[in-house]
Structure 1
């Protein structure tokens, strides 16, 4: 589409089809909310639909992979995309974007690298047309019925508000308006849905009644902020993916160099062994060859002597006197004895010589077993991210560089006295101490989310023991029998340990929902579930669910994402931090709300503890601070304000008669120790 850069900047992502990456044409919206071109959606459904021809026929959304049921699987295959409603908002935005901004050029001519001024616009094709292309367009059989407007006279140059009427339509029954809200299922429905699916539900109210109590501005701000927050997390994940891609490319280059170096080292070693063996062969051959040469020379000398004797014997016997014959024969007899002796010696000395190669006895096995230099291994370790937690819009408001606020003008009542490291040599990630427990035996237990460990330290902060878990732990609590319970949220598991000379697991229980915070109240476990139903589970110590706590007005009161839980020393008040709603809520043991605490400078409340007087101390994960709150829900003072290094406080734990406390931070290897000051 020919639109100005400003328009493209405003609508680029909304108006682009995720499949063809072009401007949406006849945009169709799925129940999950994602929109595609009609033709792109049809192609996707035809290729991906499963259980074709049955009532269970469905296909995955190309973006979110949600299973989407065909509204009518008896329809013709080439009409499946038509069954889904048009996204009227996107369609209107398309009209606005093509009719409002900048000079228009013919889209067809542009494909041929020609810029021809557009005179008309086809609302069905979403294309600008010059005079000539308009004539061809109108003569095309499939385009005869299209709505083509004259740019100079036939369209409104003001920005139109998109038609929103289709938002009120039921996605299951397109001709019905949404009229009811089912509180039991947290679903909006039309008359038909209400009769067919919710007639047995106890709490179904008209949508007009819901509108009266629904804070749309707060909810809109909450959703917008959290969608952006999720986008930020996805960008962080994308960055990690790119980082991994760079890392494995670097790993590949390093391994290639390592392989070549290994081959070079082997070549050098083999060449050295070969040279040494050849030198040994040459030396041995030279020695034996010289011996044989000397033996041959002596034999040749003897042969020459024998020849000379035979010549003399023949001459004397032919021409000599009898005396001469006696003398020569006597001499020859002595020579004969010498010859026999020489032959005997030669035969004794003469050996059959054979030079051979005796290989190292380990060499054949080495050659047979050396089928490879090594193996390429791929280690896939779970990337550790802090939980993607809902945040409120207020935390995105601009702050000054030094983090100054009114609370910083208040007197600080906590002083940092020391810090110590909880990083172990075999930790694969930076520490994320999500909870701290102090025992009466002066032991301190640190729950490390990133490294999936429980770490036990002594009074002087020396490591006593640690245990690796199969999953990331979040919260812990000490039971009456001095055993310890730890939550593993994503595994929906609570582990129970004995902290003796050697820590050991004794049992585990499974939970219906994710388990984040945990506290012990008499013989019951109080479990917070985060965004998994935004509820609180009450279990017995065997894991049986006794009840579920979720205030009826939790949506309107923004009591969302219950994260951490703390019970006061008298076991009479339960404190729950609601991360999304920026709230601390105090309940009595009957689960009636005693008070709700909020503060403009407390964002993303997480870790909770109580001091000697019973006041609550609360960590602000997103506001980088720690506040002290009275037992009736009033701010007393700010103990820790935002630091220059922007450390994110996660949890706090008092010890030593309640005058000293630990503070831990996100992705931080040290734990800070503070003293309360008057």
Structure 2
């Protein structure tokens, strides 16, 4: 049953300055901020990073970058799109702040007088005049800014076709329910064509609307706001209780002073010092937490108010897109509240070492202590759908291969072929070994030298990098027959290789100048691009790409780290925690979560696509884990190790 209609009396306000919006700018995650506040946040992040490529949303920490990335960071805020919906529902005084978009991009602030429905831009009198004279735009429909800002329904009609945040100017045409995101035609072809649940919004939009109940999302957001308020009340109680008890303690000491002035003068001094330490250490932090809670409350209010406006006045397409964004926001809000809502009882002992305390304890049993009484509050469960990517890695099986070989096997790589077949690179025996889907031996092929990495090119071919040689061996694997096809010669020693788009490969290795590099190589051996970096690469390094083939991940054992690059060679992040040592195999699951093995730390680190730690698996992991591959449809991890040389360790990704 749908929830009752919620009437919200609220004027949208910025979550940074906590004031009414002035020129609201919207990030791709749907959070909006005043242009000046957003620019201040960008400037702060620019001071922390020498080369700022993107910013983090102040609320949900999701990455965002402006449409024109080569502009200076001092202009970034103005490059994010204006939130037309918020602008339309602001009070009359704020509506006058609407500026000409064309002039604003050039650093000039000129009040707008009209809005072009086709171009979706606000314009001043001069820009409007030029716009009407242009042959391409003379027939465009232009309405008065005053009319625009007084009619939310008209605003929603103007904003009818939300455009893609990844591909500027492209209209939204599809909705991937598997990833819960809208897509333009380019997004669909590049990353969602193989998804099983992609809806054509021109044909199946009505069916998608059946699952949208905005009132329920708004109710959950209001519950989030209530929990944040409760948390603030707990902190206020904490602050007041400390202040009252410290002051009471000082009053007690003053009462006794008439009897033992000399002793209690020193005692009072110590109490004041310790009380100030407690206040400075804990209360100031609690007040800062309250300010963050207040920012979250404003963000939650803005979110559910925006959803209500879109649901009341927007098109079906806008309702679908906004509902998806709000569901994502709701997950982040719930996580933040749960992190803040844990309560523990705290006792501060002032520890005043003086014999007089034992004498006075009969009259003042609490002298020397500040006790914080806390009440037990349990955060009620909020009905949120768990994201599909929240999986726990659990050991499932250990397969003893026991394949007869001349030398003790050393499986430097494991990978999956079509039909769930498995291929191993046996470094010590110069062989590629083919296994069935049940891990039974089928056949093997002897190479000219030691294989290091095997990557799948298509249903019939694999590429094998040979240790410390400048070539890649291409093998044909049809049925139970492995046949050498050709050899690709490279200009530098190879290490790890991985499959890229259209049959290309990404390979990393050494440079003659002592640096490391990774290159994009065609199936014919032509080098499309090469990127060098200072971190040295050992010969037991591994490389992997995300599902859309837009990011490269390189393990660097010499620095115990994982490096991430985009396809232009720009570093996205470096992951190097203390509990990850001797980085080896790296793989990516179907949700683009990253799995990196610690060869000497004997663990598995699961990272989000942005490099944030999700979990560390250190139980059931074999000693010296070496190589890893992932069955993306069955959520199975296969790992080889340097300790169990004849075994495969199988892990299952189970939903938490």
TM norm structure 2? 0.38
Computing the radius of gyration from Cα coordinates, the structure with the larger value is 1
